[in-house]
């Protein structure tokens, strides 16, 4: 392409417009992307691990999660159904998680039994605090349920 | 007793109408004097004359009447021609705008006060509940009317050349209408809105790769909260109205430019006559010298495609003002009467305050998304949640460019009509099943046993 004044200006304003569009897009994204502070985050203390009896699911409102003792291990399961986000209540009688919205059913350990859910219940990383010996859940680390 | 001034006297006094020099309005009454005065004439430039020219002047001199052509074919006046669905949708949008502004005076988009504002509106504000009811029912009705408008436009074949792009604009308006309804659904911040929006935005997660990011930007975080309410509010009262008004403007402008439902022969509603005309290629020099020595210049060559030839009777048209206008006023008033009656008869639902720790049974998406929810119950999420709706919307958007068949009459476009009818029936059936036949746990419960319909 021969660079004369006209083609220089024509290319120039196109590049300028493209840069403006990129700047506007980037600014909008920075403005609109969700803040880290929104929603629950960080470590949450859950107390003495011994208080969670075997084969029970205990609801922890502060973390919107269940602490489950399967008898073999302790799990932290998100209350949010992986299907469409309804809260999944634990049915004491059947010993299973049963979603009221679309009939998804999960075992105590959060594995998928039936229903339209694409995977098992999501969970969080659990750990024992080295100093206090308290059970701690890290809400920033979500573990996707198994399909 | 005042004598009627003669034409000559009126002309001498400068009180005659330039375009109607034989007529002078009576200036004997006070109103007449005001209407002849300079101030009045500076606002309304022409007297209202009951003559063909006077009627045309009404259209010329009024900015709002420019929406209409001066004359339309008489058959356009028949209700069967378009059922006025696009017009009714516009009227409903206006109703929503007016009632929405009233609601804005009493509403704060905050999780702490939104629900209380709704209760206060119900009990403490005169006509507050009525305004909310009318807003609610108009919104539902608008979704319905827009869909019917789309369906009628399809069956009339009115999306065909030269109206292809206006169909695309119409699809954008359809999508914006759904966006309006969905964002507005959350604002009362009750159990119904919270969980309907939870389920609705839950669908977004099924988009591969970008689903989570889109959902996060949409609801402003991991779960629905203050950020979501504020985002939906801003979209609902500022972004979407402006975008819709802008596209609606182009949509209506193109309706008028494309001939305002002008029939061009053929048998279908919008059929265009295709007469094969042999046009001799004319090659003219850019400029030439005529016999008398003056230069003649070729100003432009017009593509035959862009010339709209119409063959019809010269007197089959009627003036838009008043013939079309009076019908629009009647239909508009009728629409307002219907939503007012609905608002008086049925209360807009307001459940308990939104509680993220308790899902009501069943949790359903708003009715226009409930078909999708039903579909998700039967197929893999990637298929039902993404591929089917995406293919559905994409096909609808570009329909005029896929369906190249120029025919508008039903007998010559059987394939398109059959496919469209099957898809439409499926969508309607899924929506009816999801809305009426599903109870807690999404089990089958017929509405005559217990209705779980939520509006």
Closest CB to A39: pick one of B195, B206, B221.
B221
Whether complex ipTM tops 0.90: no
What value does the mean pLDDT take over residues B417-440? 93
- Taking an 8 Å cut-off on Cβ atoms, the answer to whether B223 and A80 are in contact is yes
State both tokens at B390. 């995406």
Residues of B in contact with A85 (CB under 8 A): 198-199, 201-202, 205, 223
Half-sphere exposure of A88 (CA within 13 A, CB side): 33
Q: CB of A81 within 8 A of CB of A104?
A: yes
Domain map (residue ranges) of chain A: 1-33, 43-143
Distance CA A32, CA B340 (A): 38
**Counting beta carbons within 10 angstroms of the beta carbon of residue B145, is it exposed (0 to 12), middle (13 to 18) or buried (19 or more)?**
buried
Nearest to A38 among B202, B221, B373 (CB): B221
Cβ-defined contact of B198 to A85 (cutoff 8 Å)? yes
Contact B157, B268 (CB under 8 A): yes
Instruction: Provide the pLDDT for residue A2.
Output: 74
Percentage of chain B beyond pLDDT 70 is 82
Q: How confident is the model at residue B273 (pLDDT cuts 50, 70, 90)?
A: very low
Query: Residues 423 to 442 of B: which have CB under 8 A from any A CB?
Result: 440-442
B198 contacts chain A (CB < 8 A): yes
Q: Helix, strand, coil shares of chain B as percentages rounded to 5? A: 60, 5, 40
Nearest to residue B365, comparing CAs of B186, B129, B210? Answer: B186
Cross-chain residue pair B203–A84, CB shorter than 8 Å = yes
Percentage above 90 pLDDT, chain A: 24
d(CA B174, CA B176): 5
Enter the pTM of the model.
Answer: 0.81
pLDDT per position as a tens digit, B116-154: 999 999 999 999 999 999 999 999 999 999 999 999 999
CA–CA distance, B214 with B205 (Å, rounded to integer) = 8
B365-374 mean pLDDT: 86
Query: Over the stretch B11-37, which tens digit does the pLDDT of each residue have?
Result: 566 555 555 555 555 566 788 778 777
**Higher pLDDT among residues B71 and A16, named by residue:** A16
Chain B residues with CB-CB distance to A101 below 8 A: 195, 199, 359, 361-363, 441-442
Q: Does B358 touch chain A (CB under 8 A)?
A: yes
Q: What is the mean pLDDT of residues B322-334?
A: 92
Which among B215, B231, B373, B442 is the top mutation candidate for probing chain A, defined by the most A β-carbons within 10 Å of its own β-carbon?
B442
Residue B94, pLDDT > 50, answer yes
pLDDT of residue B88: 97
A66-89 in b/e burial notation, b at 16+ Cβ within 10 A? bbbbeeeeebbbbbbbbbbbbbbb
pLDDT at B301: 66
A 10 A CB-CB count for A56 gives 16
Q: Which residues of B182-217 are buried (b: 16+ CB within 10 A; e: fewer)?
A: bbbbbbbbbbbbbbbbbbbbbbbbbbeeeeeeebbb
Residue B198: is its pLDDT beyond 80? Answer: yes
Average pLDDT (B421-446) is 90
Q: Which residue has the higher pLDDT, B102 or B280?
A: B102
Considering only the beta carbons, identify the residue of A34, A84, A101 that sits closest to B220.
A34
- Give per-residue pLDDT as tens, B330-366: 999 999 999 999 999 999 999 889 988 888 877 788 8
DSSP summary character for residue B5? P
Put simply, whether A72 touches B (Cβ < 8 Å) is no
For CA atoms B296, B301, B307, B309, the dihedral sign is: positive
Name the closest residue on chain B to residue A142, using Cα atoms: B222
Q: Identify the closest residue of chain B to A32 by CA–CA distance.
A: B217
Q: Are residues A147 and A118 in contact, defined by beta-carbon separation less than 8 angstroms?
A: yes
What domains appear along chain B, each with residue ranges and CATH number? Answer: 74-259+317-442 (1.20.810.10)
> Does B441 sit within 8 Å of A103, measured CB to CB?
yes
Could you give the C-alpha distances from A57 to A7, A67, A71, B18, in angstroms and in order?
71, 6, 11, 89
Q: Which of B232-246, B271-285, B294-308 has the lowest mean pLDDT?
A: B271-285
The Cα B135–Cα B106 span in angstroms is 14
Bridge partners of residue A77, in order along the sequence: A66, A123
Per-residue model confidence as pLDDT tens digits over A81-123: 888 888 888 988 888 998 877 788 999 999 999 888 888 999 9
Question: What pLDDT, on a 0 to 100 scale, did the predictor assign at position B203?
Answer: 79
Q: What is the dihedral of CA B85, B88, B94, B95, to 10 degrees?
A: -130
The rounded percent of chain B whose pLDDT value lies above 90 is 41
- Which one of B359, B362, B370, B438 would you mutate to disrupt binding with A, by most A Cβ within 10 Å of its Cβ? B359
- pLDDT-based confidence at B217, cuts 50/70/90? confident
DSSP B314: T
User: Helix (H, G, I), strand (E, B), or coil: what is residue B369?
Assistant: coil
**B278 pLDDT higher than 60:** no
CATH architecture type of domain A43-143: 3-layer Sandwich (2.102)
At B294-321, the pLDDT tens digits run 766 666 666 665 566 555 555 678 888 8
Q: What is the CA radius of gyration of chain B?
A: 28
**Three-class secondary structure of residue B119 per DSSP:** helix
Pairing of strands A65-69, A56-60: antiparallel
What's the mean pLDDT when you consider all of chain B? 83
Sequential DSSP letters for chain A = ----HHHHHHHHHHHHHHHHHHHHHHHHHHHHSPPTTSS--SEEE---GGGS-TTEEEEEGGGTEEEEE-SS-EEEEESB-TTT--B--EETTTTEEE-TTT--EE-TT--EEESS-SSS--EEEEEE-TTT--EEEEEEEEEPPP-
Contact B353, B189 (CB under 8 A): yes
Q: At B424, is the secondary structure helix, strand, or coil? A: helix
Query: What is the band of B201 on the pLDDT scale with cuts at 50, 70, 90?
Result: confident
Other C-beta atoms within 10 Å of A134: how many?
Answer: 15
């Amino acid at each position: 392409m021969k660079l004369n004044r006209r083609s220089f200006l024509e290319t120039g304003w196109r590049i300028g417009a493209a840069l403006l569009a990129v700047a506007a897009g980037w600014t909008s994204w920075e403005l609109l992307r969700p803040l880290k502070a929104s929603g629950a985050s960080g470590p949450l203390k859950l107390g003495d691990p011994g208080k969670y009896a075997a084969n029970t699911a205990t609801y922890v409102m502060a973390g919107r999660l269940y602490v489950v003792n399967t008898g073999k291990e302790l799990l932290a399961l998100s209350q949010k159904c992986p299907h469409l986000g309804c809260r999944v209540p634990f049915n004491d009688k059947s010993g299973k998680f049963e979603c009221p919205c679309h009939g998804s059913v999960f075992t105590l350990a959060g594995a998928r039994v039936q229903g339209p859910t694409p995977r098992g219940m999501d969970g969080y990383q659990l750990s024992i605090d080295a100093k206090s010996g308290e059970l701690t859940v890290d809400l920033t680390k979500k573990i996707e349920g198994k399909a | 007793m005042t004598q009627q001034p003669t034409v000559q006297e009126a002309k001498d006094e400068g009180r005659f109408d330039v375009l109607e020099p034989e007529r002078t309005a009576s200036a004997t009454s006070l109103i007449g004097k005001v209407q002849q005065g300079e101030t009045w004439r500076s606002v309304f430039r022409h007297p209202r004359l009951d003559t063909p020219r006077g009627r045309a002047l009404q259209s010329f001199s009024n900015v709002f009447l420019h929406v209409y052509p001066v004359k339309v074919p008489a058959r356009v006046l028949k209700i069967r021609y378009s059922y006025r669905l696009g017009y009714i949708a516009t009227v409903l949008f206006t109703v929503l705008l007016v009632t929405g502004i009233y609601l804005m005076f009493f509403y704060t988009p905050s999780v702490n006060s939104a629900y209380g504002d709704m209760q206060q509106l119900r009990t403490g504000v005169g006509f507050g509940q009525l305004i909310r009811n009318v807003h609610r029912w108009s919104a539902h009705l608008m979704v319905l009317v827009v869909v019917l408008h789309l369906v009628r436009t399809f069956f009339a074949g009115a999306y065909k050349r030269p109206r292809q792009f206006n169909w695309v604009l119409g699809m954008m308006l359809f999508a914006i209408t759904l966006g309006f309804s969905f964002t507005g659904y959350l604002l009362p911040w009750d159990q119904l809105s919270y969980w309907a929006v939870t389920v609705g935005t839950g669908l977004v997660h099924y988009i591969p790769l970008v689903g989570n990011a889109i959902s996060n930007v949409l609801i402003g975080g991991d779960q629905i909260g203050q950020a979501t309410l504020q985002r939906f509010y801003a979209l609902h009262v500022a972004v979407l109205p402006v975008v819709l008004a802008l596209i609606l403007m182009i949509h209506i402008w193109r309706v008028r430019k494309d001939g305002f439902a002008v029939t061009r022969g053929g048998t279908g509603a919008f059929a265009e006559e295709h007469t094969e005309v042999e046009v001799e290629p004319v090659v003219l020099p850019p400029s030439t010298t005529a016999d008398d020595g003056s230069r003649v210049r070729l100003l432009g060559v017009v593509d035959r495609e862009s010339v709209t030839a119409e063959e019809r009777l010269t007197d089959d048209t009627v003036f838009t003002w008043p013939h079309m206008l009076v019908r629009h006023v009647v239909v508009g008033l009728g629409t307002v009467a219907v939503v007012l009656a609905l608002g008086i008869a049925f209360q807009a639902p307001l459940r308990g305050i939104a509680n993220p720790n308790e899902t009501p049974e069943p949790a359903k998406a708003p009715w226009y998304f409930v078909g999708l929810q039903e579909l998700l119950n039967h197929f893999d999420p990637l298929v039902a949640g993404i591929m089917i709706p995406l293919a559905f919307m994409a096909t609808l958007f570009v329909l005029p460019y896929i369906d190249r068949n120029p025919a508008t009459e039903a007998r010559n476009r059987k394939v398109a009509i059959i496919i469209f009818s099957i898809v439409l029936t499926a969508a309607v059936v899924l929506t009816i099943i999801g809305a009426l036949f599903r109870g807690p746990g999404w089990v089958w419960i017929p509405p005559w046993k217990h209705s779980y319909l939520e509006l």
